[in-house]
Chain A
Amino acid sequence: MMTNPHLKMQGLAKSYGTFVAVEDFSLDIAEGEFIAIMGPSGCGKTTTLRMLAGLETANRGEITLAGTRIDQLPVWERKTPLVWQSLALFPFMTVRENVEFGLKMHGVSRAERRRRADDWLERLGISDYADRNVARLSGGQRQRVALARSLVLEPKVLLLDEPLSALDAHMAIKMQGELKKLQRELGITFVYVTHSHSEAFSLADRVVIMNAGRVEQIGSPQDIFLRPRSKFVAQFVGGISLLEGKISGKKDDEWFLETRDGKVRLGHGCGLAEGETADLAEGETADLAVRADRISVTVGSGWGENEIACTLVSEEFAGAVVNLHLETASGRSLVAQLQQRDLEQLDASIGARVYASWHPDDGFLLESARTSGSEPRERAA
């Protein structure tokens, strides 16, 4: 926990009738931090953002911004501008009128309004379109108007709801870079909701993964990518093979996992936090995760320590790398990621018998499956 968070959300909850949209959301955000909230559609990420902006009233919980409690304030007094997924630009106004709108509502004088709006138009490179109607702009230009309209208010926090989803892939990547640069320069806290892995991982300082109204994991992009805590996060992040089994026999401080496809050795500390191995018990069920890029695929056996015989099901070309989808004898799916040139050396066609192997230290046990034994929770509708 941070000693003096800039934006603090404590126990936020929202339900519509019997449908629980968000349950018990707590997060402390430091000033200038870039937070991405990510999850599949309907996971509650947008509802959380809307509660921050005051567009939804939380059933429970508190929100504090820079020491002031804001969850009781109406939308127009919160000063938490939102960049809408649809952008929500005012269609009958020019670019400049759109940007000046918020200032006008806050009673800023005409000259001052004009000066500040023009500053932002300049900064975002849309000065040339200042007098144009917003309907006659390209996607990227409209995106900039939406940003300028919010940032001109000099907010303490900027909320963004899938702001790049309307842009084509090329433009979205360009805007990603600009957003990150802008956020660094301004030092404003950004709370960014997205379902895109690449946006969340490349932009955010910390990523919040939500599922069915609950927070699954909060951590740096590296944390989440390399060490998903739960089965849900592992599957959502992708590129991870999961093996279920029972913890077995401690031999010389080494642990094993008894899977349906044979016994595999767990690495030092089993990939768990320090001291947690002490809680491991013989016969306990656990999920072992191995990243796709750490799995080697060979035609012959005996190449690696942890080795499972598989059938090659399909190849998926993904640029410089290729994903091989494998199936074990017990029907479990594994995925291995190979460099293109490694694939060329692998003399195996679809349907062939191959061996998947990995170094024990590259496997790690998922924490949540052990500690709470919870499967990814199905939402009670």
Chain B
Amino acid sequence: MPPHQKHSLPKAFWIAGLAVVFLLLYAPIVSAVLFSFSADRFPSLEISGFSTQWYAQVLTDRAILEALWNSLTVAGLTALIASALGFAAAYADYRFRFFGQKAVLALALLPPTVPLVILGLAMLAFFSRIGIAGTLMAVVAAHVVIAAPFAMAVCRLRLAQLDTELEIAAQNLGAEPHSALIRIVLPHTLPAILAAVLITFAVSFDEYVIAWFTGGLNQTIPVAVLTTLQGQVDPTIHVIGTLSFSMTLTLVLIALAVVLNQSGGRMSKEET
């Protein structure tokens, strides 16, 4: 045993602690998954039988399907725009040295730290002034603001592994700036951009507060769920929760796999 572990608590203690953390994190989710397959109207621990009736009900509910479509549209557009902006910002920070660079970087990464209620309210006020409040485009615009910093962070990590000399070396061999960007920087950053698309999609797909403030009558899935819950306890909620969770988890896992696989792989910065 290494000396620094000599006086620490037994390993079992840490494992138990970790188990508690995971239990608290995942028990509610597991319960939602369980109850989504329950035949009972109300959730209780004596589950009387297995049923997929609530799934059938959700998949035929026009309001839910419309909300799902809204969510997919908003998340899809948000993912594309936020990833493009995030890459551009990360590239500017990587490639150029300019006055106030640190300040610009801090400002660009700031939005996720602003409380959502404040952001949502401010967005609503601003969007009403320019006349787009209550449209899906308003939700997209607002979601881009909170999702782009995540895209930028992912792209920055990847760019940091690329020797800045490579792009200049390409230019030195006759590549015009745009060719050097497309042939050298983009291929290297592509995995991060893909990861950014998946993560920003997940961020937008899950987001409730801003979507509720700015979306008006155009409900996204989280808004529809909470609206439903306000009136009644409906077992279809478990179904929506389970589906949303699986989808988000899948996206994030794929993103993680892409990023982890690449950063340890052969495309990492040349060893010298």
Residues of A within 8 A of B (CB): 53-55, 74-77, 79-82, 84, 86-92, 101-102, 105-106, 133-135, 149-150, 153, 166
Q: Is the CB of B267 within 8 A of A76?
A: no
Q: Is the CB of A133 within 8 A of B173?
A: no
Q: A91-B269, A91-B270, A135-B266 are in contact. Are A106 and B163 (CB under 8 A)?
A: no
Q: Is the CB of A105 within 8 A of B170?
A: yes
B168 proximal to A (CB < 8 A): yes
B157 proximal to A (CB < 8 A): no
Q: A101-B173, A105-B173 are in contact. Are A90 and B271 (CB under 8 A)?
A: no
Bound-state CA distance A101–B270 (Å) is 18
Chain B's closest residue to A139 (CB) is B272
Q: Is the CB of B173 within 8 A of A149?
A: yes
Chain B's closest residue to A150 (CB) is B173
Interface residues of B in 158-216 (CB under 8 A from A): 163, 165-166, 168-177, 179-180, 183-184, 187-188
Which of A82, A86, A91 has the largest number of chain B CB atoms within 10 A? Answer: A91
**Chain B min CB distance to A16 (Å):** 12
Chain B's closest residue to A134 (CB) is B270
Residues of B within 8 A of A153 (CB): 173-174
Q: Is the CB of B174 within 8 A of A135?
A: no
SS of A interface (majority): loop
Bound-state CA distance A87–B172 (Å) is 13
Q: Is the CB of B270 within 8 A of A81?
A: no
Q: Is the CB of A88 within 8 A of B272?
A: no
Q: Which 7 A-B residue pairs are closest in the complex by CB-CB distance? A: A102-B173, A88-B169, A105-B174, A105-B175, A75-B171, A88-B165, A91-B270
Q: A90-B184, A105-B174, A106-B174 are in contact. Are A84 and B169 (CB under 8 A)?
A: yes
Q: Is the CB of B272 within 8 A of A86?
A: yes
Q: Is the CB of A92 within 8 A of B173?
A: no
Q: Is the CB of A92 within 8 A of B172?
A: no
Q: Is the CB of A90 within 8 A of B174?
A: no
**Chain B min CB distance to A347 (Å):** 51
Which of B171, B174, B267 has the largest number of chain A CB atoms within 10 A? Answer: B174
Chain B's closest residue to A166 (CB) is B272
Bound-state CA distance A78–B163 (Å) is 22
**Chain A min CB distance to B121 (Å):** 46
Residues of A within 8 A of B166 (CB): 88, 90-91
Can you report 10 A-B residue pairs in the complex whose CB atoms are below 8 A from each other?
A: A75-B172, A76-B176, A76-B177, A77-B174, A84-B169, A88-B168, A90-B166, A105-B173, A106-B174, A135-B271
Residues of A within 8 A of B172 (CB): 53-55, 75-76, 80-82
Residues of B within 8 A of A102 (CB): 173-174
Residues of B within 8 A of A88 (CB): 163, 165-166, 168-169
**Chain B min CB distance to A116 (Å):** 14
Apart from A88-B165, A90-B169, A102-B174, 13 more pairs, CB < 8 Å: A77-B174, A82-B169, A82-B172, A88-B168, A88-B169, A90-B166, A91-B166, A91-B270, A105-B170, A105-B175, A133-B266, A134-B270, A135-B266
Residues of A within 8 A of B176 (CB): 76, 105
Interface residues of B in 27-46 (CB under 8 A from A): none
Bound-state CA distance A91–B180 (Å) is 14
Residues of A within 8 A of B184 (CB): 90
Residues of B within 8 A of A106 (CB): 174
Residues of A within 8 A of B187 (CB): 92
Identify which of A77, A84, A105, A166 contacts B179 (C-beta below 8 A): A105
Chain A's closest residue to B180 (CB) is A76
Residues of B within 8 A of A82 (CB): 169, 172
Residues of B within 8 A of A92 (CB): 187-188, 266-267
**Chain A min CB distance to B180 (Å):** 8
Residues of B within 8 A of A80 (CB): 172
Bound-state CA distance A251–B173 (Å) is 64
Bound-state CA distance A75–B180 (Å) is 12
Q: Is the CB of A101 within 8 A of B170?
A: yes
Chain B's closest residue to A82 (CB) is B172
Bound-state CA distance A280–B163 (Å) is 56
Bound-state CA distance A84–B168 (Å) is 11
Bound-state CA distance A75–B173 (Å) is 8
Residues of B within 8 A of A105 (CB): 170, 173-176, 179
Residues of B within 8 A of A77 (CB): 174
Which of A53, A54, A74, A88 has the largest number of chain B CB atoms within 10 A? Answer: A88
Residues of A within 8 A of B269 (CB): 91
Q: A84-B165, A88-B165, A88-B166 are in contact. Are A79 and B270 (CB under 8 A)?
A: no
